[in-house]
Chains A and B, each alone.
Chain A
Amino acid sequence: MPVDVEARVISNTRLSSDYNVIALDAPAIAATATPGQFVMVKPGRGTDPLLRRPFSVFEIIESNGRITGLTLLSKRIGVTTRLLYSAVEGDVVSCLGPLGKPFTLVQPPTEAWMVAGGVGLAPFATLADALVARGVPTTLFYGARSGQELFYLDWFASRGVKLELTTEDGTRGEKGRVTLPLERSLRERASADVMVYACGPEPMLEAVSHVCDRYGRTCEVSVERVMGCGMGGCYSCVIPVHETGGGHHFVRSCLAGPVFTAADLVWDHD
C-alpha cells in the first residue's frame, strides 16, 4: 500500500551541472520499496508544478542499521527536476510510494546484466544491492554522453559489480552506445545463463530488447512514460503491449510496469 510522506530533504548532492542525488526523509516508503519500484514526487505545495513526477528509488539509506530514507537520482530537465536540483536541506518534498511492479530477481548461477543509459542508472543501485546480496554475479553496462556523466562508479565497483562503460564522445570507456559491449558480451558468452535488466531512453530500450531477442535472452526494461498520477487513475502513462493472437493494447505503465518483460512491448508504435 502506497503512503504519502511530506519528506524533509536530508541532503542534496550535485553530481554535475545537471545531475543530483537528493536524499529524502521517507523511511515509511523506503522500508517497503523493492528494486524497480518508483515514487511520485512534488517539491513544494504550489501549482507549478501541479502534478507529481515519477522517479525510480535510487538508494535506500540506513543509519545504525535502521532505514532512514531514500535517494532519487535526478537530471535537470523540467520544472520539477530544476526544483529538486536546487533544493536544500530541510526543504519538504511530497513523496508518494512505493508504486509499480518491481524487477524479477534472479538466483545464482544466473548472471545479472544491468544496462543503463544516462539517468536510467536510477533503478540499478537498489537492484545491484539485492542481486549482490543473493550472490548473483552482476555486471553494469553503463552509457552516457561523456565521462563526466558517468556516476557512482566506485559505489558499484565496491559492491563487486563489474563495469562496462561507454560514452558517446569517447572520453571514458568505449566510444559509442551501450549496446556495443552488451551485444559483444552476448555473442562471446553465448552459453552464459543471463538475465538482462535495462533502463534508459526508449530508443536504447528498444535496441537492448532487439539485441536480447536476437540472442535469446530474457530482458526486463523499466520504462518512463508521461505519468499523471502513478496510481492507475488517469490513463496517461500507457504503453502498447502485444496481444495473444496479434495486435496490441495499451496498458498503464504505473500499474502493469514500470518494469516490463521487453518482449511483451510493441516497440514500433507511437
Chain B
Amino acid sequence: MTDIDLSVDVGGLRLSNPLIAASGCYGYGVEYADAVDLSTLGAVASKGLFLAPREGHPPQRIVETPSGMLNAIGLQGIGVHRYIAEKLPELRRLGVTNLINICGSTLDEYVELARILSDAEGVHALELNISCPNIKEGGITFGCSLHGTFDVVSAVKKVTHLPVIPKLTPNVTDVASIAKAAEDAGADGVSLVNTFLAMAIDVETRRPKLSNIVGGLSGPAIRPIAVRMVYECRRMVKIPIIGMGGIASAVDALEFIIAGATAVQVGTANFVDPFIWSKLTAGIEDYLQRHGVRRIADLVGSIDISTREKEWVSS
C-alpha cells in the first residue's frame, strides 16, 4: 500500500495532513521558516491576536513541572493589523495554511477581528480563543458558559465565510456541553483543549513561580485528560474536532485521532523538538501502512469500545 492519504477536512478547512502547530507555541510561524518547510504542516495556528498590540505579563512566564510546563505569557502580541501587514505576506509566500487564532475582550472585538481577517488574503480559518486561562478580560468568560460560547460563535459566523473553530477550555464541568453549544451556534469545528489552570510555588521563598501567580498546564502531563475530553466531545457533537494536549509522538497523535479528533495540534513538544513534524508524519504513515488503512480520515473516531461499553461511567 503506497498511496497513503493524510489529508483531512475540518469543517471546510482543507489540510494536507492532520498536524497543526498549536497557537501560542509557534510564534507567528515565520520564526520557524528557516528550520522547517512550513508548507508541509497541515496548518499553523497563529499566536492569539487581539485588535491592538499587547504587552503580556512580566517574566517569569513559564515554569517546568512534572512532565509538563506552566505558562502565563499573557497573550503578548502585535495585534491583527501588524499581523496582516508584516507576517501574512511571508506566510502566503511560504505556502502556509493559516488557522488564525483570535481573542477578544468583548464580543464586538471578536466580530471586528473576524471581519478584518475575512478580507485578508491567505487566511484559511478562524480559531476563536475563548479559553485562555491567563488573562482576566474576555476570552474565557465566553468559553466557560454555554450562552457565552453560543453567542460569540453565532456572532462571528454572521460576519465571515471562513470556517469558525472555537478553542475550548478544559476548565469547565462538562466540556462536551460547551462543544454542543458551539455546534448549535454553527461552529464548523472545535479545538480542544487549551491549558489547565494550575500553579506552582517556590516553598523556600513562598512565592508563586509565575508572575501571574497562576498559569496554564500543558505537556504530556495533561494528555490522558485531553484524550478523554476529545472522546466525550466526539460522542456529543458531529462537527470535526481538533484535538490537542501533550502530543509528543505519532502514537500520541494517533490516540487523539482514534478518540475522535480529525486533526491534532502540537505545542509544547515543538519547544523540545522543532523538527518533530517530519517524525510525526513518518510515524503516522508507518502506522497506517501496518494497519492497512489508506486514509487517515478513516481512522478518526475509530476507537473500539465494543466490549467495554458497559464499563463506561459518565463523569
Using CB atoms, name the residue of chain B closest to A79: B64
Tell whether, in the assembled complex, residue A238 and residue B61 are in contact, meaning their CB atoms are under 8 Å apart.
Answer: yes
**In the assembled complex, which residues on chain A have CB atoms less than 8 Å from the CB atom of B32?**
231-233
**In the assembled complex, which residues on chain A have CB atoms less than 8 Å from the CB atom of B211?**
270
In the bound assembly, the distance between CA atoms of A42 and B63 in angstroms comes to 16
* Nearest CB of A to B308, in Å: 28
**In the assembled complex, which residues on chain B have CB atoms less than 8 Å from the CB atom of A52?**
271-272
A50 and B219 in contact (CB under 8 A), knowing A226-B62, A226-B63, A238-B76?
yes
Judged by a CB distance under 8 angstroms, whether B12 is at the interface is: no
Tell whether, in the assembled complex, residue B55 and residue A96 are in contact, meaning their CB atoms are under 8 Å apart.
Answer: no
Judged by a CB distance under 8 angstroms, whether A250 is at the interface is: yes
Residues of chain B at interface, number, CB under 8 A: 35
Judged by a CB distance under 8 angstroms, whether A154 is at the interface is: no
Judged by a CB distance under 8 angstroms, whether A2 is at the interface is: yes
**In the assembled complex, which residues on chain B have CB atoms less than 8 Å from the CB atom of A239?**
59
List B residues 10-39 near A (Cβ within 8 Å).
Answer: 24-27, 31-32, 34-35
Secondary structure class of chain A's binding surface, majority of residues: loop
Judged by a CB distance under 8 angstroms, whether A49 is at the interface is: yes
Binds A, one of B66-74, B87-95, B114-122, B199-207: B66-74
List B residues 216-268 near A (Cβ within 8 Å).
Answer: 219-220, 268
Tell whether, in the assembled complex, residue A236 and residue B71 are in contact, meaning their CB atoms are under 8 Å apart.
Answer: yes
Tell whether, in the assembled complex, residue B272 and residue A51 are in contact, meaning their CB atoms are under 8 Å apart.
Answer: yes
Judged by a CB distance under 8 angstroms, whether B270 is at the interface is: yes
A269 and B58 in contact (CB under 8 A), knowing A229-B271, A250-B76?
yes
Using CB atoms, name the residue of chain B closest to A227: B62
* Nearest CB of B to A95, in Å: 12
Judged by a CB distance under 8 angstroms, whether A162 is at the interface is: no
User: A-facing mask of B46-70, CB < 8 A → 1, else 0?
Assistant: 0100000001101111111011110
Q: Which of B24, B67, B73 contacts A47 (CB 8 A)?
A: B67
In the bound assembly, the distance between CA atoms of A94 and B274 in angstroms comes to 12
Judged by a CB distance under 8 angstroms, whether B273 is at the interface is: yes
Q: Which of A2, A228, A232 contacts B62 (CB 8 A)?
A: A228
User: B-facing mask of A103-145, CB < 8 A → 1, else 0?
Assistant: 0000000000000000000000000000000000000000000
In the bound assembly, the distance between CA atoms of A49 and B219 in angstroms comes to 12
Judged by a CB distance under 8 angstroms, whether A267 is at the interface is: no
**In the assembled complex, which residues on chain A have CB atoms less than 8 Å from the CB atom of B274?**
2, 4, 96, 229, 231, 233
List A residues 211-233 near B (Cβ within 8 Å).
Answer: 225-226, 228-229, 231-233
**In the assembled complex, which residues on chain B have CB atoms less than 8 Å from the CB atom of A228?**
62, 69, 71, 271
Tell whether, in the assembled complex, residue A234 and residue B73 are in contact, meaning their CB atoms are under 8 Å apart.
Answer: yes
Using CB atoms, name the residue of chain A closest to B66: A48
A50 and B68 in contact (CB under 8 A), knowing A233-B32, A235-B76, A238-B56?
yes
Tell whether, in the assembled complex, residue B270 and residue A1 are in contact, meaning their CB atoms are under 8 Å apart.
Answer: no
Q: Which of B59, B69, B73 contacts A51 (CB 8 A)?
A: B69
Judged by a CB distance under 8 angstroms, whether A255 is at the interface is: yes
**In the assembled complex, which residues on chain B have CB atoms less than 8 Å from the CB atom of A159?**
none
* Nearest CB of B to A226, in Å: 6
A233 and B270 in contact (CB under 8 A), knowing A1-B34, A228-B62?
yes
Tell whether, in the assembled complex, residue B27 and residue A233 are in contact, meaning their CB atoms are under 8 Å apart.
Answer: yes
Tell whether, in the assembled complex, residue B219 and residue A47 are in contact, meaning their CB atoms are under 8 Å apart.
Answer: yes
* Nearest CB of A to B220, in Å: 6
In the bound assembly, the distance between CA atoms of A236 and B268 in angstroms comes to 12
Tell whether, in the assembled complex, residue B61 and residue A236 are in contact, meaning their CB atoms are under 8 Å apart.
Answer: yes
* Nearest CB of A to B93, in Å: 18
A50 and B63 in contact (CB under 8 A), knowing A232-B27, A235-B76?
no
5 contacts between A and B (CB under 8 A): A225-B59, A228-B71, A233-B31, A235-B73, A249-B55
Give me 13 other A-B pairs in contact (C-beta within 8 A), A226-B61, A231-B274, A234-B62 excluded. Answer: A1-B35, A47-B68, A50-B68, A51-B271, A96-B274, A226-B62, A228-B71, A229-B270, A231-B31, A233-B271, A238-B61, A269-B58, A270-B211
